[in-house]
């Protein structure tokens, strides 16, 4: 149960409301986001409490447990959330007219190759570089990423190219270290429901690309975002990256309807990852165009100058020249729907 409180409530009154509820054996947590004051309440038989609380004078509205997210919803925040990252010429916005392209290798391999790809994607017009250092891999015998040694490489790329960088964070205790170097966190599909991690980055201010779990539905994605929002961080960018289906021609099934569905339910920006969704470089361009046309607020792409030699995910990486063509087409499609790539 979520209690939306009157916005002019004093801290003292808030405490009193919380105490009164806790005295009946419930748990509470106070939340401040988007200029709203909320009290989250849980326990059995909240039905009775719900009826009572609705009448309290400090209470604006009570939302019962069947509606499992609120801050992430259009009900709470009507207009699109716009998330601004970086400064000056390098500033990028998600959720506005702009459709940023994020590109780079699946994993950072060496400083040289990473820098080379960074320069290539920059030349193609990309403003955000992706390069993972910590790779969650299904098999313990697959390349796990070069780890924290790579943080210096990210730093070097930022200095030399001016690009913003996004990299994955896998656990709460890693977040502070990664935050020093990354402009944007990525929380991967396997960690969408790592609530400890969500709570931790919720207490930071760093923008987060939150990927949908491969076995998670849209409501669960919004609930995961709600964790981050409710702990204080409003900078959440959702990412549709394909779900598990019976179709096996593509590695995952890109749920294109998730884009307009999320936009209907939520004000948060949503981007797509056609590389991981399809697992096939030949499909990446078409899926990117589809995503843009459907209203995606960005796209994250795997690019490698030598896909066949990539440490991981080579089959889905596009080449620099394919990236150039993709951006050219993407600009046209974006323009057709009144946006800019």
By CB under 8 A, the residues from 154 to 183 that bind a second copy are 170-173
Taking the alpha carbons at both ends of the chain, their separation in whole angstroms is 40
Map the footprint of a second copy across residues 124-153, applying CB under 8 A: 136-144
Residue 203 interacting with a second copy (CB under 8 A): no
**Residue whose CB is less far from a second copy, 174 or 183:** 174
Residue 138 C-beta: closest distance to a second copy, Å: 5
Sheet strand arrangement including 27-33: 27-33, 36-42, 2-5, 59-63
Q: Which member of 4, 208, 283, 318 binds a second copy (CB under 8 A)?
A: 283
Map the footprint of a second copy across residues 20-79, applying CB under 8 A: 27, 40-45, 65, 68-70
Site stretch for a second copy (CB under 8 A), options 10-18, 90-98, 212-220, 316-324: 212-220
The DSSP result for 173-215, as a single string, is HHHHHHHTT-SEEEE-GGGTT-HHHHHHHHTS-S-EEEEPPTT
Cα dihedral across residues 284, 287, 292, 297: positive or negative? negative
Number of residues forming the site for a second copy (CB under 8 A): 88
Which residues in 18-82 belong to E strands, given as ranges? 27-33, 36-42, 59-63
Residue 220 C-beta: closest distance to a second copy, Å: 5
Residue 327 interacting with a second copy (CB under 8 A): no
Residue 140 C-beta: closest distance to a second copy, Å: 5
Angle at CA 113, nearest 5°, toward 286 and 88? 70
Map the footprint of a second copy across residues 295-324, applying CB under 8 A: 295, 309-311, 314
Residue 87 C-beta: closest distance to a second copy, Å: 32
Map the footprint of a second copy across residues 232-271, applying CB under 8 A: 243-250, 253-261, 263-264
Residue 338 C-beta: closest distance to a second copy, Å: 9
CA dihedral (242, 245, 246, 249) in degrees, to 10, reads: -10
What residues does 59 pair with on adjacent strands? Answer: 5
Closest-CA residue to 271 (of 227, 230, 301): 301
**Residue whose CB is less far from a second copy, 13 or 280:** 280
**Residue whose CB is less far from a second copy, 85 or 292:** 292
- Cα–Cα distance for residue pair 318/122, rounded to 1 Å: 15
Map the footprint of a second copy across residues 85-124, applying CB under 8 A: none
- Cα–Cα distance for residue pair 205/32, rounded to 1 Å: 14
Closest-CA residue to 279 (of 255, 259, 253): 253
Residue 312 C-beta: closest distance to a second copy, Å: 9
The DSSP result for 62-75, as a single string, is EE-TTS--STTBTT
Residue 86 C-beta: closest distance to a second copy, Å: 28
Q: Which member of 161, 191, 233, 235 binds a second copy (CB under 8 A)?
A: 191
**Contact call for residues 203 and 233 (beta carbons, < 8 A):** yes
Q: Which member of 230, 233, 235, 266 binds a second copy (CB under 8 A)?
A: 230
Residue 78 burial by Cβ neighbours in a 10 Å radius (0-12, 13-18, 19+): exposed
**Residue whose CB is less far from a second copy, 52 or 123:** 52
**Residue whose CB is less far from a second copy, 123 or 336:** 336
**Residue whose CB is less far from a second copy, 72 or 83:** 72
Q: Which member of 157, 277, 318, 326 binds a second copy (CB under 8 A)?
A: 277
């Amino acid at each position: 149960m979520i209690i939306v409180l009157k916005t002019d409530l004093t801290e003292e009154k808030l405490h009193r409301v919380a105490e009164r509820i806790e005295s009946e054996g419930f748990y509470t947590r106070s939340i401040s986001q988007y200029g709203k004051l909320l009290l989250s309440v849980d326990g059995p038989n909240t039905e009775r409490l719900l009826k009572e609380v609705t009448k309290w004078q400090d209470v604006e509205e009570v939302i019962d447990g069947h509606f499992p997210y609120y801050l992430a919803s259009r009900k709470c925040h009507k207009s699109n959330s716009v998330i601004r990252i970086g400064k000056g010429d390098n500033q990028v916005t998600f959720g506005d007219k702009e459709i940023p392209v994020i590109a780079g290798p699946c994993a950072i391999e060496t400083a040289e190759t990473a820098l080379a790809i960074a320069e290539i994607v920059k030349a193609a017009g990309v403003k955000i570089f992706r390069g993972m250092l910590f790779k969650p891999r299904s098999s313990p015998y697959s390349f796990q990423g070069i780890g924290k040694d790579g943080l210096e490489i990210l730093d070097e790329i930022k200095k030399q190219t001016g690009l913003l960088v996004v990299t994955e964070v896998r656990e709460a205790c890693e977040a502070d270290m990664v935050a020093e170097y990354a402009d944007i966190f990525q929380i991967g599909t396997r960690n969408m429901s790592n609530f400890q991690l969500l709570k931790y980055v919720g207490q930071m201010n760093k923008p987060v690309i939150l990927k949908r779990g491969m076995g998670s539905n849209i409501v669960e994605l919004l609930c995961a975002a709600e964790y981050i929002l409710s702990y204080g961080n409003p900078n959440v960018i959702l990412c549709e990256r394909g779900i598990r289906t019976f179709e096996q021609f593509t590695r995952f099934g890109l749920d294109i309807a998730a884009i307009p569905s999320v936009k209907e339910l939520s004000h948060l920006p949503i981007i797509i990852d056609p590389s991981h969704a399809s697992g096939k470089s030949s499909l990446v361009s078409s899926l990117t165009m589809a995503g843009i046309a459907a209203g995606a607020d960005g796209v994250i792409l795997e690019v490698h100058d030598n896909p066949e030699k990539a440490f991981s995910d080579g089959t889905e990486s596009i080449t620099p020249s394919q990236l150039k063509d993709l951006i050219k087409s993407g600009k046209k499609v974006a323009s057709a729907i009144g946006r800019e790539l």
